């Protein structure tokens, strides 16, 4: 797998995992998904763990063990910043993700 592809997929999965982790908090869920009931934290946090773990594995597959793990740790900052900006300005994009977990 090319390094640029592993890096891009890793960043996308890391952002997805952090967005799911943000939606697992009741306050953020109410802010983004106002009319829908909160589904609980277990499913959202498990999905966040799976997406983040998959980002770590993709990074290791494309970049190697040491560099893949370092890339995963360093990707937390820009991906977390991107999720916080989405929570502030683009709630509609997180609504698409939240609809996957509505009853």
Cα–Cα dist 51/45, whole Å: 10
pLDDT of 63 = 92
Q: In the structure encoding, which two tokens stand for residue 36, read together? A: 């829908």
Cα–Cα dist 19/25, whole Å: 10
pLDDT of 11 = 95
pLDDT in tens, the chain (103 residues): 788 999 999 999 999 999 999 999 988 988 888 888 888 889 899 999 999 999 999 999 999 999 999 999 999 999 999 999 999 998 888 888 888 887 6
Contacts of 96 (CB under 8 A, 6+ apart): none
pLDDT of 103 = 62
Cα R_g (the chain), whole angstroms: 14
Cα–Cα dist 92/53, whole Å: 26
């Amino acid at each position: 797998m090319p390094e640029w592809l592993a890096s891009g997929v890793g960043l996308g999965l890391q952002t997805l995992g952090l967005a799911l982790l943000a939606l697992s908090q009741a306050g953020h869920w109410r802010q983004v998904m106002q009319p829908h009931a909160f589904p609980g934290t277990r499913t959202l946090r498990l999905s966040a763990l799976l997406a983040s773990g998959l980002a770590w594995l993709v990074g290791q597959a494309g970049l190697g063990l040491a560099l893949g793990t370092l890339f995963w740790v360093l990707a937390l900052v820009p991906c977390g910043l991107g999720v916080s900006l989405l929570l502030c300005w683009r709630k509609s994009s997180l609504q698409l993700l939240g609809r996957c977990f509505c009853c």
